[in-house]
Chains A and B, each alone.
Chain A
Amino acid sequence: MWEITGEHAPGLAGGVVAALAWLLAVRLVPSQGCRRRYAAAPGSVRTAALLMIVTAGVHLALAPHDLRDSPFTSLAFVANAAGFATVAVATFGAWWWRWAAAALLVATIAAYLLSVLIGLEGPDQVGIATKLVEVTALGLALVPVPHEPRPTHPVLRWAAVAAAVPALTMLTGLTVWGADLLRPAAGHHAGAVVQATASVPTPEQRAQADRLFEETAAAIAPYRDWRVAWAAGYRPAGPTAGAVHWLNAAYARGPILDPRRPQGLVYVRGRSDWVLAGAMFETPRLGEFGPDPGGPLTAWHEHQDLCVSPLGPAIGLASPYATCPLGAVGMSFPAMLHVWIVDNPADGRFATDLNPKTIRALQRS
């Protein structure tokens, strides 16, 4: 969701090239009548036409990729691009262009959301950006403006704009978000980027992972009493619900992956007291993974695009539009590796997260 996939990169270039070609074409078109009509059109109409041309360029550039494996998809992209180009040209003369543009834009957005829902396409930055362009074009195509040559149904059109634009923006975001959480891209796990490793650990890596687990479990055993952890400098940080991370500022700059000095401890609030669930190792800087002795068993993960509030201990996920609630800012955290000393059967001893069932069991203890 946060990357531009290789197969969609040509779409980005296609959109930019199409926009430039359109802006050049409307100035160089030989017919004076056409140029006059373009110059006389409201800014909203000219912008709607430009945005539709951008969409046409994106889809046309994506068509060759699917030509061999999925010729129907390729043909649909070409037909869609031709449709948008036709409507964009029609904006400066034909009476029917608004409703044709609205129908084509809604159909295009719906087709994208359907393909994301059923897994034909993974959401990425080009796809989301194109949908934002299309929603904006829809609003500009429908919005009534002063001095229209043939003003029709202004109240109905305002109602359509006010309802469709926020609703489609929301629906697109929710669909993309849901698909990304249910089917994360390779190397991603619920808002975290996982370190790339070999898929199968070697016997030596298994032994190293076992040793890291045993050494860490032994080293943090005294911290089962949270008062000892407090005395050692660990303090609760971040969200106070579920698995609560206690961080030690003294170890923020290192050492990395020292079982005796983990950067954090993870506790769950039980019925009577804090229950120690594991340790957390963290690198000092963004974008760097730590040493990986266990190969795929001890892969680090980096939480990216989280919403963090300085107003209180709260963490959420940034929306697909990279927006956070008011009072929170989007940020990322350095790479981390957890070692769970409690039974975490579904996800394992070095999993990115503590399993919710495990958390509930600890909360009841």
Chain B
Amino acid sequence: MPRSAPGSSRPEMAAVLLLVQAGTWLLAAVGALPFALAGETTMLALAVLTMALVALVLLLAAGLAGRRRWARSWTMALEWVCLGGSLLLLLLPIGTPRGLVALMVDVGLPAALLVLLTGRRGRQAFGWSGAGRVSRREVAPPRR
């Protein structure tokens, strides 16, 4: 697996933001449990589903910390879905939360993660050059 490590700290920053995001989702899962205990079985299913998502996000954070390219790709896909979904809900007239914290968590966090991971510097942090994939020799010192 390519594990190039140019000087950028973007992967580590993205890992920290993913941990914050995981914490906010874990709270949503825990918050669903009282309703599940009150007899709403659908809420139990959703809580379990959310905990599985949190586990996936923690795996992605570990992958980003290790500068794995698959982690970058999957994180970007996840964050595009989150950002698109949040913006769609904000546009619909259903009274979705629009407060400062909602905007930070639902829009700010995914947007910040995408800024960190996309673009030339985002790619370079994971060992891709502007033109394409960087070979291990370009980014890692030769073994002696």
Seen from chain A, the residues whose Cβ lies within 8 Å of a Cβ on chain B are 2-4, 12, 42-45, 47, 125-126, 128-129, 132, 135-136, 139-140, 143-147, 158, 161-162, 165-170, 173-174, 177, 239-242, 286, 304-305, 307, 309, 311-333
Q: A144-B12, A146-B9, A240-B39 are in contact. Are A322 and B30 (CB under 8 A)?
A: no
For residue B99, give the distance in angstroms from its CB to the closest CB of chain A. Answer: 5
Alpha-carbon distance A323/B101, docked complex (angstroms): 10
Q: How far is the CA of A100 from the CA of B49 in the complex (A)?
A: 38
**A332 and B94 form a contact (CB under 8 A):** yes
Contact (Cβ within 8 A) B32 A307: yes
Q: 1/0 contact trace for B50-73 toward A, CB 8 Å?
A: 100100001001000100000000
**Smallest CB gap from B17: residue in A:** A136
Residues of A near B35 (CB, < 8 A) are: 239, 314-317
Contact call B23/A169, Cβ cutoff below 8 A: yes
With A305-B97, A329-B89, A331-B95 known as contacts, the answer to whether A146 contacts B28 (CB < 8 A) is no
Q: Is the CB of A125 within 8 A of B100?
A: yes
Contact A323 B95 (CB under 8 A): no
| CB-based contact A316/B12 at 8 Å | no
- A45 to B58 Cα, complex, angstroms: 22
* B111 is an interface residue with CB less than 8 A from chain A: no
Q: Can you list 13 pairs linking A and B with CB atoms under 8 Å apart?
A: A4-B99, A44-B12, A169-B26, A170-B27, A241-B39, A311-B45, A314-B46, A321-B28, A322-B97, A322-B101, A323-B27, A324-B28, A330-B102
Contact A129 B104 (CB under 8 A): yes
With A166-B23, A326-B49 given, name 5 new contacts (CB 8 A).
A135-B20, A146-B8, A240-B40, A307-B32, A323-B25
Contact indicator A169/B20 (Cβ below 8 Å): yes
Using known A-B contacts A132-B104, A143-B13, A330-B89, determine if residue A317 contacts B31 with beta carbons closer than 8 Å.
yes
- A307:B28 contact, CB within 8 angstroms: yes
List residues 1-34 of chain B with CB under 8 A from any CB of chain A.
5-10, 12-13, 15-17, 19-20, 22-32
Instruction: Find out whether the CB atom of A241 lies under 8 angstroms from the CB atom of B40.
Output: yes
| Least CB distance, A310 to chain B, in whole angstroms | 10
- Whether the pair B32, A325 counts as a contact (CB closer than 8 A) is yes
Q: Does B118 contact A (CB under 8 A)?
A: no
Contact A241 B38 (CB under 8 A): yes
User: Is B83 an interface residue when CB atoms closer than 8 A count as contact?
Assistant: no
Tell me the bound Cα distance from A184 to B118 in angstroms.
Answer: 42
- Pair A173/B96 contact, Cβ less than 8 Å: no
User: Which B residues are CB-close (under 8 A) to A327?
Assistant: 45-46, 49-50
List the B side residues contacting A3 at CB < 8 Å. Answer: 99
The answer to whether residues A322 and B102 also contact, given A173-B27, A242-B39 and a CB cut-off of 8 A, is yes
Query: Given A325-B49, A325-B50, do A315 and B24 touch, yes or no (CB 8 Å)?
Result: no
Q: Is B105 an interface residue (CB 8 A)?
A: yes
Q: A143-B13, A331-B96 are in contact. Are A174 and B24 (CB under 8 A)?
A: no
Known interface pairs A140-B16, A161-B16, A331-B94. Does A321 touch B101 (Cβ–Cβ under 8 Å)?
Answer: yes
Instruction: Please report the C-alpha to C-alpha distance between residue A177 and residue B26 in the assembled complex, in whole angstroms.
Output: 14
Contact residues in B for A146 (Cβ distance below 8 Å): 5-9
Are A2 and B97 CB-contacts (below 8 A) given A147-B7, A166-B23, A324-B28?
yes
Asked if B105 and A322 make an inter-chain contact with CB atoms under 8 angstroms apart, the answer reads: yes
Most chain A beta-carbon contacts within 10 A, residue among B20, B26, B53: B20
Q: Which of B101-133 contact A (CB under 8 A)?
A: 101-102, 104-106
Bound-complex Cα distance A319 to B23 (A):
11
Q: Report Cα–Cα, A302/B58, bound state, in Å.
A: 36
Q: From the candidates A2, A312, A321, name the one contacting B105 in the complex (CB within 8 A).
A: A321
List of B residues within 8 angstroms of A313 by Cβ: 40, 42
**CA A44 – CA B40 in complex, angstroms?**
43
B16 touches A136 (CB 8 A): yes
Contacts A242-B38, A327-B49 given; indicate if A316 touches B95 (C-beta within 8 A).
no
A353 to B46, CA, bound (A): 25
Cα–Cα, bound, A125→B97 (Å): 12
Q: Which 7 A-B pairs have the closest CB atoms?
A: A169-B23, A332-B95, A241-B39, A322-B102, A139-B16, A312-B42, A314-B42
Answer yes or no: B43 CB below 8 A from chain A CBs.
Answer: yes
Min CB distance B109 to A, Å, is 9
Interface pair A325/B20, CB less than 8 Å apart = no
Residue B141 CB within 8 A of the other chain: no
Q: How far, in whole Å, are A247 and B26 apart by their CA atoms in the complex?
A: 33
In the bound assembly, the distance between CA atoms of A324 and B13 in angstroms comes to 25
